[in-house]
Amino acid sequence: TYNVDRDVPDSAGTSTAYLCGIKTNMRTIGVSAAARFDQCNTTRGNEVTSVMNRAKKAGKSVGVVTTTRVQDASPAGAYAHTVNRDWFSDADLPADAQTYGCQDIATQLIYNMDIDVILGGGRKYMFPEGTPDPEYPHDASENGVRKDKRNLVQEWQAKHQGAQYVWNRTALLQASTDFSVTHLMGLFQPGEMAYDIFRDHTTDPSLEEMTEAALRVLSRNPRGFFLFVEGGRIDHGHHANIAYRALTETIMFDNAIAKASQLTSEADTLTLVTADHSHVFTFGGYPLRGTSIFGLADGKASDHKSYTTLLYGNGPGTYQTPTGGFREVWFWLPDFREA
C-alpha cells in the first residue's frame, strides 16, 4: 500500500487506512490527508472514524493488544487522532501543539472512547514525570514521563467500577478470569515489550496469553466484540535487519492467531490477518531443500564470497558484511544482522 504523500508507507498511515478506511499522510493517525504532519492546527475537522469506534457505538466490547506500546502507531489507529505518531505523552507535545489544544496519544487512549481491554507496553507515558517504574524502580530512564503530573491509569480506573490495572503476567492471568473485572488494562513494560526470545516469562505475558486474556473478558458481552491484536515486534526485527527476531516474533503471532481460533467460532467470528506494510526482506540464493533458513545460500556471489539465504535490501546490516565472509555459527545468534 502507500500513503497519500509517500510511495512507501509507515504504520501510522497504514493503520489509518485499514482501521478507518481512508488513506492519509505519513506519520499521521486517524485523520484525513487534509491534516498535515506535525501541524496541530490542521487536526480539527479532519478526524476520521475507526472500525473499533463503530463497533463500540454498536454496543460491542472492544480491545487492543500489542507487543509494542499501546500508544504506538498501529494500535493508535483504532482510537486516536494525531498529526504526529510520536506524541506519546504530553512531554512529546511541542508548544504550538499545546497552544492549539492537541492531546497526546496516551490521553486519547483513555478519553477518546471506552476501550474495555488495553494490553501491551507503554507504562511510562501514563504516569507523572519521575514516578518509579514498579518493575525497574532503580532505573530512572524507565520512570514516568508526563510533565502534566497526571496519572492516567488512576483516571481510567475512576471511570469504571470494574476496572483493573495490572503490570505483570500473574496479575493478568488472574484478572482475566475474574468476572467482576469489566475493564482490563495491562501495561507490561515502560516502553515496548521485549522480543519473545528475551522475554521474562515470569513477569511478561506472551502475545498468545494477552490475546487469550482479552478474549475472555471481551467475549462476556452477548452483543459481541472487536479485538485488535498486533505482533508489532515483527516489524522491529525487520527494521534492525535481524531476521531471527522477526521470524520468531512471526511464530508468536501465529500462536496468538491459533489461540484466538480455539476460543472463537467461525460461525459468528470474522478473523482478519494482514500486515500493514512489507519490508525489504528477501529469500534467495537457491538454497537446498531442508537446509536452515538462517544458513548460507548454496553457492557464492560474483565476488566469490558466501552470502546468507535471507537478505535485506537496505538497513544497518548492509554495512556489516565481514570482509572475509560469514561463519556458520553466527547465523543462529539473536543479534546477527543479515546484509
Q: Which residues are annotated binding-site positions for Mg(2+)?
A: 72, 74, 230
Would you list which residues are annotated within the binding site for Zn(2+)?
A: 235, 239, 276-277
Residues 6+ apart with CB under 8 A from 61: 116, 117, 217, 218, 220, 221, 223, 224, 225, 226
Phi and psi at residue 165, to the nearest 5°: -110, 135
- DSSP letter at 31 equals B
Compute the Cα dihedral for 88, 94, 95, 101 and give only its sign: negative
The dihedral formed by the CA atoms of 239, 243, 244 and 245, expressed in degrees to the nearest 10: 20
* Grid cell 537457491 in the structure block, residue: 286
Alpha carbon of 284 to those of 275, 294, 297, 309: distances in Å?
Answer: 21, 12, 7, 6
Catalytic annotation, pick one of 11, 32, 89, 206: 11
3-35 CB burial, b ≥16 within 10 A, e <16 = bbbeeebbbbbbbbbbbbeebbbbbbbbbbbeb
Which residues make up each annotated binding site?
Answer: 72, 74, 230, 235, 239, 276-277
- Catalytic, 15? Answer no
CA distance 137 to 276: 35
Cell of 172: 493478568
Catalytic residues: 11
